Amino acid sequence: MSALPVTRREFLKVSAVAGGGLMIGINLGASSTAEAAATAAGFENAWIKITPDDKITFICHRNEMGQDVHTSLAMMLADELGVDPRKVTIVQAGSNPKLYINKLLGGQITGGSTSIRDAWEPVRMAGASARTMLVGAAATEWKVPVTEVKTENGMVVHGTKKISYGKLATAAAKQPVPGSVAMHSKSQMTVIGTNVPRLDGADKARGKTVFGIDVKQPGMLYAAMQHSPVIGGKAVSVDSAAAEKMKGVKKVVNIGDGVAVIADHYWSARQAADALKVTWDDGPSAKVSTASVWATLEKAKDRPGFVAGKKGDVTGPLASGAIEATYSCQMLSHATLEPQNCTARVTKDGIDVWAPTQFPQGAEGTAAAVSGMKAEQIRIHPQFIGGGFGRKLENDFIAQAVLIAKAMPGVPVKLTWTRPEDMSHDFYRPPSLHVMKAAVKDGKVVAFASKMISPSVTARAFPSVVKDGNDPFMTEGLVNFTYDIPNVELRSVIEEVGVRVGYWRSVSNALNAFATEGFMDELAQSAKQDPLAFRLAMLNGMPAQKAALQKAAELSGYTATPAKGRAFGVASMECYDTHCAMIAEVSDQGGKVKLEKITVVADAGLIVHPDQAVAQLEGGIVTGLISTLRSKITLKDGRVEQSNFHDFQLPRMTDVPPIQVAFVGNRDKPGGLGEVGVPLVAPCVANAVFNLTGKRIRALPLEDGGVTFA
């Protein structure tokens, strides 16, 4: 076992449960030993509760949106407790940013492929601490040395004597808080690394799982919106006479960026909202178009921007003969299956919010801000999320629901957007322009320069994080540059384009990977080398990355001389503390390109749940195909031209090829996986298309470049 001290920021809070039992949490926000040692009476937001009836409850501090984080985190806890994870009851935590902070992101957030990495020590520490205290309680009761007592299947054992955790829980709560805990080493893990059936699987299969859109509260009313046709527009006047006469309508509420109708049924509210006659002030965004977006980014190409990474000096080598190319990525909608929704109840004493949110802390702050109440008066009840991908980090729909519910004090009101509203009022994946330059000498890259020009998500969402022109989420895919090149310069230029942008699964890793890995193939072509061998030669200082790429080549059947009518495309990068390599195989089907297979290999460190790890990479690849094949968001007169899945086409089953997944490496800690499968899809497919057709497409989606996929 590995002993882990209870450090300055990782303090145990222990309390007895009312009626008997044990509660344990780790206060990641504790700032002093005194605070950590304080009695935890009334400590409602624990991580573990063990009660005399042998019920073990895990209050999960990360939100479930299909990635099966509930199961994986419960497995980490169960491994240390020595119990079957299927005996652990999961309860979703509310908002408590001090206790449940994600230290990798600086808030109570589910995103950034951080859930398992961030929880790896704290959740296991909580389980190991509970085990230590249970063993101590049994040793005290039996009057035997602690070293002679062990745990086994939810029981504490000494020789022939056994006692359940539940029967010991109350006594364990009186044990001293351990100064250090011994967590299981890799060889001692019995739950981690196994394929536990997902704990929410049965309920989802039976339709029992409650997503945000399924919430029902006693006496609940329903709200539907008529949004401004232009994002940022405001309602100047409202003629609601016809709507107010419709059956079931309770009230019409102008909340600024839209007008809501509250009714006793959703359909009544929807029909009445459509009947509203609203005069809009479109605001400055009415001048924005797809053409203006790209013109704005083009004008910013010569700005120096922020230096995200620098090694040596690229000036001399580039001056003596540079290879240059410009890549670009279109805007995208998140297109979550579950449209935005929120249920809110406002009383004079506080607000209850039921929402599918990735950011409970932000939901709490938003509700407080628009209501004028204090944060401690807000109660956030996170629900299962029917597709997040970064969209449900935003709180616009939560603000709307609270403002609407204020018009009906004491009554829960459920706001639900339509699909067209969701598509036209998203926080879009940013458009990006990438200026690439390099110099190749004697078959080797001697200088490499990349400049990304794009609007900043973080400058809007978390402005204090952006300093001196550096948006750290914009430079993803730059700062993690893996190739051993003597002279490198990586820059980013923030240029706003009049469109609100948001975090989209894998954020800038995908944008920069498309440019970097596409350009690497161009450099290999210039050097007259095989793209795979060309990359491997620049990865001698990155053994994990090199191993992943070599394994991908082996599994995919990669060859530099494929049969006529077939081709491979290669891409490789490190992101989210995971090394990933991907190879796409394509074929010519009567002038159309068919995706035959995608092979992905990752060194993601220690894998908590192998089957779900595979699923995350598979799902990431499908998400990557959204940007790669044909999807895009376009604008005209400030209005989004797409409205639903007929004109914002997601990959169909026929678009998705067989996917082969493998893992390499032997690290002792997990890397991220939730977004790792996304970034390399576009470049490896684009590179394969070039090798098949001779068309070098530097702009997404690829079908805009004259390629049709079979």
**DSSP β-ladder status, 56-60 and 48-50:** antiparallel
| Domain ranges across the chain | 4-206, 212-283+340-416, 290-332+428-705
Stretch 288-303: mean pLDDT: 98
Stretch 504-510: mean pLDDT: 99
Confidence at residue 21, expressed as pLDDT on a 0 to 100 scale: 83
Q: What is 290-332+428-705's CATH number, 1.10.1040.10, 3.40.190.10, 3.30.365.10, 3.40.50.300? A: 3.30.365.10
* Alpha-carbon dihedral angle through residues 696, 700, 703, 707, given to the nearest 10 degrees: 10
Residue 669: Cβ within 10 Å count: 12
Give SS3 for 458.
helix
- Which residues are 567's β-sheet partners? 586
Stretch 479-488: mean pLDDT: 97
Confidence at residue 34, expressed as pLDDT on a 0 to 100 scale: 29
Q: Is the peptide bond before 97 cis (omega within 30 degrees of 0)?
A: no
Band of residue 5 on the pLDDT scale cut at 50, 70, 90? very low
**DSSP β-ladder status, 592-603 and 659-663:** parallel
CA distance 567 to 368: 56
Confidence at residue 2, expressed as pLDDT on a 0 to 100 scale: 52
Q: What would the pLDDT profile of 385-430 be if each residue is shown by its tens digit? A: 999 999 999 999 999 999 999 999 999 999 999 999 999 999 999 9
Band of residue 26 on the pLDDT scale cut at 50, 70, 90? low
Give SS3 for 127.
helix
Residue 589 pLDDT greater than 70, yes or no: yes
Confidence at residue 35, expressed as pLDDT on a 0 to 100 scale: 35
- What percent of the chain has a predicted confidence (pLDDT) above 90? 92
Q: How many helices (H) and strands (E) does the chain have?
A: 18, 30
Q: What would the pLDDT profile of 135-178 be if each residue is shown by its tens digit? A: 999 999 999 999 999 999 999 999 999 999 999 999 999 998 88
Residue 421 CA: distances (Å) to CA of 397, 480, 503: 11, 36, 19
Among the listed residues 143, 145, 137, the one whose alpha carbon sits nearest the alpha carbon of residue 176: 137
- The conformation of residue 77, written as its DSSP 8-state character, comes to H
Stretch 347-371: mean pLDDT: 98
**DSSP β-ladder status, 592-603 and 578-589:** antiparallel
Residue whose pair of structure tokens reads 């952006």 in the numeric block = 466
Confidence at residue 9, expressed as pLDDT on a 0 to 100 scale: 33
Confidence at residue 24, expressed as pLDDT on a 0 to 100 scale: 84
Q: Measure CA 122 to chain center.
A: 20
The secondary element (H helix, E strand) that includes residue 169 is helix 165-172
Residue 328 pLDDT greater than 60, yes or no: yes
Residue 176: Cβ within 10 Å count: 9
CATH class, range 212-283+340-416: alpha beta
Confidence at residue 22, expressed as pLDDT on a 0 to 100 scale: 85
* Position 321, amino acid: G
Confidence at residue 10, expressed as pLDDT on a 0 to 100 scale: 44
Residue 11 pLDDT greater than 70, yes or no: no
- What percent of the chain has a predicted confidence (pLDDT) above 70? 94
What size, in residues, is the chain?
Answer: 710
Higher pLDDT, 459 or 181: 459
The secondary element (H helix, E strand) that includes residue 672 is none
Confidence at residue 284, expressed as pLDDT on a 0 to 100 scale: 93
Confidence at residue 38, expressed as pLDDT on a 0 to 100 scale: 30
User: 115-142 and 69-81 helices cross at what angle (nearest 10)?
Assistant: 30
CA distance 211 to 382: 9
Among the listed residues 414, 436, 420, the one whose alpha carbon sits nearest the alpha carbon of residue 216: 414
Among the listed residues 210, 204, 200, 187, the one whose alpha carbon sits nearest the alpha carbon of residue 88: 200
Residue whose pair of structure tokens reads 């007259």 in the numeric block = 528
Do the two domains 212-283+340-416 and 290-332+428-705 of this chain adopt the same fold?
yes
Q: What would the pLDDT profile of 527-547 be if each residue is shown by its tens digit? A: 999 999 999 999 999 999 999
Alpha-helical regions (H) of 308-425? 315-319, 360-371, 396-406, 419-424
CA distance 702 to 705: 5
Q: What would the pLDDT profile of 372-387 be if each residue is shown by its tens digit? A: 999 999 999 999 999 9
Q: Tokens standing for 500?
A: 């609100």
CA distance 570 to 510: 15
Residue whose pair of structure tokens reads 């600086």 in the numeric block = 106
Stretch 90-119: mean pLDDT: 95
Residues 6+ apart with CB under 8 A from 424: 227, 229, 231, 639, 640, 642, 643
Q: What would the pLDDT profile of 454-463 be if each residue is shown by its tens digit? A: 999 999 999 9
Residue 67 pLDDT greater than 90, yes or no: yes
Residue 31 pLDDT greater than 50, yes or no: no
Instruction: Give me the chain's average pLDDT, please.
Output: 94
Q: What is 4-206's CATH number, 3.30.365.10, 3.40.50.150, 3.40.50.2000, 3.10.180.10? A: 3.30.365.10
Stretch 670-693: mean pLDDT: 99
Confidence at residue 28, expressed as pLDDT on a 0 to 100 scale: 55
CA distance 676 to 142: 50
Q: What would the pLDDT profile of 205-256 be if each residue is shown by its tens digit? A: 999 999 999 999 999 999 999 999 999 999 999 999 999 999 999 999 999 9
Higher pLDDT, 98 or 81: 81
Q: Tokens standing for 547?
A: 């191993």
Residue 666 CA: distances (Å) to CA of 120, 603, 612: 16, 8, 18
Instruction: Indicate the burial class of 657 (C-beta count within 10 angstroms; 0-12, 13-18, 19 or more).
Output: middle
Confidence at residue 443, expressed as pLDDT on a 0 to 100 scale: 96
Q: What would the pLDDT profile of 39-59 be if each residue is shown by its tens digit? A: 232 334 468 999 999 999 999
